C-alpha cells in the first residue's frame, strides 16, 4: 500500500541545474468530466485548466537564455498556485497539464484515487515560506528547464497519525518546445523535526548556474552506485565492502530502513524479493553545488516481486484494490510485481564520499500480476489477506 507521508533524515544540500530530459510513460485513460471523483478505473477526472500566460513564458532559444531568473520565478509562482489547487480539488485532469508524462505523474495520479484518500492531506494550499529559483546559464535547445527550491510544510511520518513538519521541496520545471507550457518533471524533498530546514545552497551568478568543471567520481555512476548500495542492504543487511557512500549519512540511514524488509522477507504469507535499479524513464538532471561539485538528481526504481509462500496458493487483490494498489484489477494471482520510484539527489562530500538528499515522494507507479482467476464470491470486499 502506498503512503504519501514523508520519511526523511538530514537537512541541507547545495545544488544547481545544468541539464535536463523530458520523458514519456504509458498514457492514462481519461474521462475528464467535471465533478466526478477519480477512481482506479477512471483516474483522470476534473475540469482541464485554462493555463495562465505565465505558464508559457520563454525567450528566443537562439539567445542561449530562453528563460531568465525573474521569468522563472513568475512561472513557478503561477505553477504552484495551479498545482496546489489541482491537488486540493483532486483534479487529475489538471495534473496531467501541470506534470510531465512519466513515473512521477503516474504515481501521483494513482495516489489520488486511493479509496477514502485524495491527492493531498491538506485542506488549504501549502505555504511558500521561502523560495530560490535556479536557472542554467546557457540553454541552446529544447527541452529547457530550471530548478526551484521551496521552503514549505508537509506531513511526515510512516505509521500512525501524520505530523506537520517543515520541508524543502526541490522541483524541476521543464518546457518541451516553444509552444508548450511549463510542467513539473522532477520532485525531491527533505524535512526537519523541530526547526526549519535550510534551502539548498546554490552556486549562481545573478541567478544563473554555471556547469560544474569536473568530478572525482564520474557523474554517470552516481545513480547506479546508489542502486547497488541499496541492493546490498537488501541482500546482506549492510553496505557493500569499500563503499564510496559516506558512513552514517542519508544513504546509510535509508539503507538501514530498506534492510528492515530484506531480500526474501515473508509478510502475510508472501515472499518478497527486491531489485533496485535506475529508472531510465524518469530522467536525470545535473546540478552544480556552491563548492563547484556536481549533484545528480534522478530516480531509483525498486521492483518488488511477491509470491505465495505456500505453493499452489494465490495472492488476493480485493475489490477495493487496497491489498496491492490501484493499478492491479481484483482477482487471484500467482505473482504480483510492484514498481516503486524513489527520487533523490546525490553529490560528493569531503573525502570524495557520495551521499544523497531526500528520497521522496515515494510512489508505486506500476503494479502487475500473473492472473489466475476472478475473485470468488466468498472473498470479502475489503479483505487484506495475502493468500
User: Does residue 302 belong to any structural domain of this protein?
Assistant: yes
SS3 of residue 105 by DSSP: helix
Task: Please report the pLDDT score of residue 210 as a whole number.
Answer: 81
385 lies in some domain: no
Distance of CA 195 to the CA centre of its chain: 24
Which secondary structure element, helix H or strand E, spans residue 100, and what is its range?
A: none
Ranges of residues in the chain with a pLDDT under 50 are 1-27, 30, 32-34, 384-387
27, part of any domain: no
Whole-angstrom distance, CA of residue 202 vs CA of residue 199:
9
- Our count of domains for the chain comes to 1
Residue 36 within a domain = no
For residue 37, being part of any structural domain is answered with: no
In this predicted structure, what is the pLDDT of residue 156? 75
Residue 43 lies in a domain: no
| 13 secondary structure, DSSP code | -
Q: What pLDDT does 221 receive?
A: 96
Q: What is the pLDDT of residue 137?
A: 92
Residue in this structure with the C-alpha cell 480485493, named with its chain if needed: 318
CB–CB of 316/375 below 8 Å? yes
**H or E element at residue 5:** none
- Stretch (H or E) spanning 370: strand 363-373
Q: Which residue has the cell 510512489?
A: 363
| Closest to 168 in 3D by CA, of 128, 108, 203 | 128
- Does any domain span residue 58? yes
Q: Is residue 183 included in any domain, yes or no?
A: yes
Half-sphere exposure of 289 (CA within 13 A, CB side): 19
Phi-psi label, residue 380: left if phi above 0, alpha if psi -120 to 50, beta otherwise = beta
Parent domain of 295: 53-373
Structure letter (DSSP) for residue 223:
H
Find out whether 320 and 355 touch, Cβ atoms under 8 Å. no
Q: Which three cell numbers stand for residue 175?
A: 518546457
Q: Residue by residue, what is the 3-state secondary structure of 290-345?
A: CCCCEEEEEEEEEEEEEEECCCCCCEEECCCCCCCCCCCCCEEEEEEEEEEEEEEE
CA dihedral 165, 238, 324, 310 (to 10 degrees): -150
Q: What pTM value is reported for the model? A: 0.88
Amino acid at each position: 500500500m502506498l503512503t504519501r507521508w514523508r520519511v526523511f533524515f538530514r537537512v541541507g544540500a547545495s545544488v544547481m541545474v545544468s541539464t535536463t530530459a523530458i520523458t514519456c510513460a504509458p498514457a492514462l485513460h481519461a474521462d475528464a468530466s467535471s465533478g466526478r471523483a477519480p477512481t482506479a478505473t477512471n483516474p483522470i477526472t476534473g475540469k482541464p485548466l485554462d493555463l495562465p500566460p505565465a505558464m508559457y513564458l520563454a525567450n528566443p532559444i537562439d539567445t542561449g537564455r530562453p528563460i531568465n531568473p525573474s521569468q522563472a520565478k513568475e512561472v513557478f509562482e503561477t505553477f504552484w498556485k495551479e498545482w496546489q489547487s489541482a491537488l486540493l480539488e483532486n483534479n487529475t485532469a489538471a495534473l496531467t497539464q501541470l506534470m510531465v508524462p512519466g513515473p512521477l505523474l503516474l504515481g501521483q495520479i494513482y495516489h489520488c484515487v486511493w479509496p477514502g484518500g485524495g491527492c493531498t492531506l491538506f485542506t488549504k494550499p501549502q505555504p511558500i515560506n521561502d523560495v530560490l529559483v535556479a536557472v542554467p546559464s546557457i540553454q541552446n535547445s529544447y527541452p529547457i528547464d530550471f530548478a526551484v527550491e521551496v521552503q514549505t510544510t508537509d506531513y511526515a511520518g510512516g505509521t500512525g497519525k501524520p505530523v506537520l513538519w517543515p520541508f524543502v521541496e526541490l522541483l524541476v520545471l521543464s518546457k518541451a518546445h516553444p509552444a508548450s507550457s511549463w510542467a513539473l518533471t522532477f520532485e525531491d524533498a527533505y524535512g526537519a523535526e523541530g526547526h526549519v530546514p535550510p534551502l539548498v545552497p546554490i552556486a549562481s551568478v545573478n541567478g544563473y548556474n554555471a556547469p560544474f568543471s569536473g568530478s572525482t567520481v564520474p557523474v554517470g555512476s552516481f545513480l547506479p552506485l546508489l542502486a547497488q548500495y541499496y541492493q546490498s542492504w537488501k541482500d546482506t543487511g549492510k553496505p557493500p565492502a569499500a563503499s564510496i557512500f559516506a558512513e552514517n549519512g542519508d544513504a546509510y540511514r535509508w539503507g538501514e530502513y530498506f534492510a528492515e524488509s530484506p531480500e526474501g522477507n515473508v509478510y502475510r504469507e508472501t515472499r518478497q524479493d527486491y531489485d533496485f535499479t535506475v529508472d531510465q524513464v524518469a530522467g536525470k538532471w545535473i546540478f552544480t553545488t556552491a563548492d563547484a561539485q556536481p549533484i545528480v538528481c534522478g530516480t531509483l526504481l525498486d521492483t518488488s516481486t511477491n509470491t505465495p509462500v505456500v505453493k499452489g496458493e494465490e495472492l488476493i487483490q480485493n475489490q477495493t484494490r487496497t491489498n496491492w494498489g490501484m493499478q492491479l484489477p481484483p482477482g487471484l494471482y500467482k505473482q504480483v510485481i510492484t514498481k516503486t520510484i524513489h527520487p533523490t539527489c546525490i553529490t560528493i562530500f569531503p573525502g570524495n564520499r557520495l551521499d544523497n538528499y531526500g528520497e521522496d515522494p515515494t510512489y508505486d507507479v506500476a503494479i502487475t500480476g500473473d492472473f489466475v482467476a476472478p475473485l470468488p464470491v466468498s472473498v470479502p470486499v475489503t479483505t487484506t489477506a495475502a493468500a
